[in-house]
Amino acid sequence: MEDRSRDATIILVRHGQTVWNAEHRFQGQKDSPLTELGREQTRRVAARLAHTHIDAVYSSDLPRARETAESIIAGRNLSVESREDLRERGYGLLEGQTKEEAGATAGAWYISWEADRIRKSPPGGETQPEMCERVMDTLSEIAQAHPNQTVVVATHAGPVKSAVYDILCVPLSLWNLTFISNGSLTTLRGRPELMRVVCFNDTCHLDSPAPTQKAAGD
67 assigned to active site: no
- From the list 139, 132, 127, the residue with the least C-alpha distance to 169 is 132
Find out whether 41 and 202 touch, Cβ atoms under 8 Å: no
133 assigned to active site: no
- From the list 29, 24, 25, the residue with the least C-alpha distance to 65 is 29
Residues ≥6 apart with Cβ < 8 Å to 172: 118, 128, 129, 132, 165
Find out whether 87 and 63 touch, Cβ atoms under 8 Å: no
Selecting among 15, 146, 156, 205, the annotated active-site residue is 15
Find out whether 117 and 92 touch, Cβ atoms under 8 Å: no
Selecting among 88, 95, 126, 156, the annotated active-site residue is 88
Residues ≥6 apart with Cβ < 8 Å to 52: 11, 150
Find out whether 218 and 50 touch, Cβ atoms under 8 Å: no
Number of helical H runs and strand E runs in the chain: 8, 6
Which of helix, strand or coil describes residue 27? coil
Report d(CA 170, CA 172) in Å as an integer: 6
The catalytic residue positions are 15, 88
